[in-house]
A and B are shown apart, each in its own frame.
Chain A
Amino acid sequence: MPGNEPEIRSALADGTIENHRPRRIKGASDKHTLTPPCQAACPLHMEIGRYVDLVAQGKVLEALQVIRDGNPFPSICAYVCTHPCEDACRRNQVDKPIAIRALKRFAVEFGGDRMIQLEAETTHTEKVAVVGSGPAGLACAYYLRKLGYPVTVFEAYSELGGMLRVGIPQYRLPREVVDTEVQRLIHMGVEIKANTRIISLDLLLDMGYKAVFITVGAHQSIRMGIPGEDSPGVIDGATFLREVNLGLRPSLGEGVGIVGGGNVAMDAARAAVRLGANNVSILYRRSRTEMPASPDEIEQASEEGVKTMFLVAPTKVKRENGRLSVTCVQMELGEMDAGGRRRPVPIEGSEFDMQFDTLITAIGQAPQLSEDFRLRIGRGSTIEIDPVTLTTSRTGVFAGGDAVTGPATVTQALASGRQAASRIDDYLRHRYPLASREAEESSLGELFPKTIEMIRRVERLEPPFLSPEARVKEFDAVELIYDWEAAVNEARRCLRCGMGAEILFQDKCATCLTCLRVCPYHVPYLDDGGTIQIPAEQCQACGICVAECPAKAIVLRKPYDRRHIEAELEHVLKSAAELKSRTLIVGFCCQYGLFGTGALASLWREGKAGIWIVPVLCVAKLEERHLLRAFEMGAEGVFIAGCGDQCSRENTAFWVLQRVDRTRRALSQIGLEPERLQTFNLRSAKEDVAEALDNFTQQIAGLCLASIVEQEVKS
């Protein structure tokens, strides 16, 4: 194809030929998988599908490894990420999205993220200064350090973390988590200069820093611009949260009003509740649908007793007798504004007064930059940068985080810090900026309605929360962690977008239509040219067509999925051979169920004499040759144990029984008793697997004895 590539490209562009192959991840280790929507939506492009699948298998350490590869501070994200991945999750089209953030929290806690120590070697001499120690600054420092640069982080406040420390309340992000990450950076050799406000960049450059990353955040609250805004008792949200987060307990009084509808307003309201205010009202000038705060936050605030008044805006504040009298006006929604939200319009003559002890304003924040930085400033006092190189108007000075974007999420800031690190590396190494992974999008569209219909509905499991009564008293973390079983079951709901089957060998395909007939999800189809197509964006990766294809032309996209049964089986057979174990029984057990149900976990742990377990990621992927291979290598009996009705797939039991039937037929033709192959726990999980297995073991022992006697008699 390289020869006529330009023609093909132009034909693709004008639609003369249709591109059946969706785009693949560039530079990714696994060329065959497609970018799933969750990964495309993540600012950090984390391999979410991979770690969710590893959690489903109970492989928490491996899951943590995948998470750490894509995220500098997974523990922080596990608490505060706004999870755009869950909004993009295609399970939304079926029931509810996978609880990705909660699963990450599970992996981070059970995998022992805080125990991990990192080392970094200095391989370059160019010093880099990071101004601001928020998530973007810390991420940039982390990656630059990993690349081998000496890095110094400057922070104006006494403690590091920026908004992580002074913006986000403790009940959402415990301080120890931030401390752990800072300690880890210090251990890696990042130099920290707290209580150091940078006022001039020239000075920094004079000190020998070859590159500077400005990430000072957006800490300056925007003013409402109404009379009486400066009265005592009126405080801005950023200052209020900073005071609370630095350990002060400002006295607020009973009645507290919050102006605004974003996450800062929610944080301020919930912090006020925890400080003892028992009448907290949020005043928001639009309606609930327009509210920018995350739905979970709104929900949790309302559980804690925060009242929200919609379509209300303050117009005047007056201080009388030690209290605040706030004049408000009712609003109605008018035309769409530039941001696509409906513009609130005051209703004339609808003014009314409200009484508060304290009024907290949280209608937005902007960066505050020293004049002496001499950087070009753009819209909303943010720093203007080149979108590709991330450089500011000054050579060697880069910027990122909220200071560039205006208030955004922690994950976006981390992504910006990571990107800045690689751009600074490019700059210092005199390289042209390399094409980044960030630019890629998911090519997976909507699921077919008939596919959605066939996907089994499985309820989303939420992690446990502290009760509203318990949480309003203190600033303890609100969300608790999944237990093992809940995490495994939640992770199993993943639809494995983009990891499904593909016809790898079109020349082998006999167009027999087996895949089309066996697919429980109606995914394969015959195109007008008479070629079978398995649209990657629809496939649910159950593996049934792979096992049934008579031409062996279909494979799963992930190389690991292709070989894992063979690899596990050979490993078990080798181990058994080394131990010279007799009356060997090989059990192919659903690995999801193995950890999920706990029933098989005990078998695994006890390791009963002569019973060897091959963990399988869904027994529907088992083929006859696997079963026969076990017998060939000396197994006297083979069993298959599924996960019963917990299975998140369709038709698993049917296909297992088909293959068992074929294998038993072959066994009896060879002269072996078909009872040597058994299935447990295929359709329901009620069966007591341990007991059934005991009976099976006895039966096999009996058959062995009989055959030994028979041979003796013959000889």
Chain B
Amino acid sequence: MIVAEQKSVEEIRRVIAPYDTVLLLGCGTCVTVCGAGGEREVSFLSSALRVAQTKSSDAIHSLVEYTVKRQCDFEFLHVLVDRVKEVDAILSLGCGIGVQVVAERFSEIPVLPGVNTSFMGMTKEWGVWDERCTACGDCRLAETAGICPITRCTKGILNGPCAGTKNGKCEANKEMDCAWVLIYKRLEKLQELEKIRRYYPPRNFRVIPRPRRIVVKAGSEPGEDNG
């Protein structure tokens, strides 16, 4: 799941300042789950913006709230066609993908981001989210006991642990587990410690030409017209 964080009300006020009517657009998938841009957050943001307006004598915006099921597909945005005609800008609370898809679909009006898209991760407990994947495109989890060193080791090294590990914690953050110690313990449990006794050559960063595209349908060449 994509994890994001709502931008501060202060920043949002700044970006919407030039526009009279703003559509606050939530997304009902990942950002709903991580409590950054679902219907509840749209309503919270809208309330907070209205408070800000009454407490200062700044420009008065008129705010429209709406939440689609998913912003990252054009089909879900179709319901917005008429609403968009009435507004001067869209503040999307979707992830970075959502913002771009909305912008592409409604090219005639400004689309602004309302959240900072942070990482791909999981819910640790209510109100706590942890990063788990960097989308490096070259998955090594088979060798590392299902624990990603690229994401969870601060240095992202492939042959760990480094000398900075202490009591199972990372030198960069004493609260944070050392990913390589976790890998070692889990390999030990799986009786696969030989996997850590190998040397892994550096990753080839050149395998990731951006932006990436995956094509599974037959009969088309990858790499054309991407973006």
List A residues at the B interface (Cβ < 8 Å). 507-508, 510, 512-514, 517-518, 548-552, 624-625, 628-629, 631-634, 658, 662, 666-667, 669-672
Contacts and interface: CB of A to CB of B under 8 A. Distances in A.
A632 B32 contact: no
A629 B54 contact: no
A548 B38 CA distance: 11
B55 A672 contact: yes
Contacts, number: 83
A552 B48 contact: no
A629 B32 CA distance: 22
A624 B47 contact: yes
Nearest to B33: A512
Contacts of A629: 47
Contacts of B52: 670-671
16 contacts: A507-B69, A508-B28, A510-B33, A514-B35, A518-B126, A550-B35, A551-B39, A624-B44, A628-B48, A632-B51, A666-B48, A666-B51, A667-B51, A669-B10, A670-B48, A670-B52
A551 B40 contact: yes
B51 A628 contact: yes
Contact of B32 (A550, A628, A658, A671): A550
Given A631-B51, A671-B52, 12 more contacts: A510-B29, A510-B33, A517-B126, A549-B40, A550-B32, A551-B28, A551-B67, A552-B38, A552-B39, A631-B54, A666-B48, A671-B55
Contact of B51 (A508, A512, A514, A672): A672
Contacts of B35: 514, 550
Contacts of A517: 123, 125-126
Contacts of A669: 8-10, 48
Nearest to B27: A510
Q: Which of B8, B32, B43 has the most CB of A within 10 A?
A: B32
B166 interface: no
Secondary structure of the A contact surface, majority rule: helix
Q: Which of A624, A658, A666, A667 has the most CB of B within 10 A?
A: A666
Secondary structure of the B contact surface, majority rule: helix
Contacts of A552: 38-40, 43
Contacts of B8: 669
A514 B125 CA distance: 9
Contacts of B47: 624-625, 628-629, 632
Interface of B: 8-10, 13, 28-29, 32-33, 35, 38-41, 43-44, 47-48, 50-52, 54-56, 67, 69, 123, 125-127
B38 A551 contact: yes
Contacts of A624: 44, 47
B9 A666 contact: yes
A667 B126 CA distance: 23
Contacts of A671: 10, 52, 55-56
A514 B126 contact: yes
Contacts of B29: 510
A628 B126 contact: no
A353 B189 CA distance: 82
A507 B38 CA distance: 13
A550 B39 contact: yes
Contacts of B28: 508, 510, 551
B123 A634 contact: no
Nearest to A512: B33
A296 to B, nearest CB: 45
* In the complex, the 4 A-B pairs of residues with the closest C-beta atoms, listed nearest first: A628-B47, A550-B38, A512-B33, A517-B126
Nearest to B32: A510
Contact of A513 (B41, B48, B54, B123): B123
Contacts of B33: 510, 512, 550
Contacts of B51: 628, 631-632, 666-667, 670, 672
A132 to B, nearest CB: 61
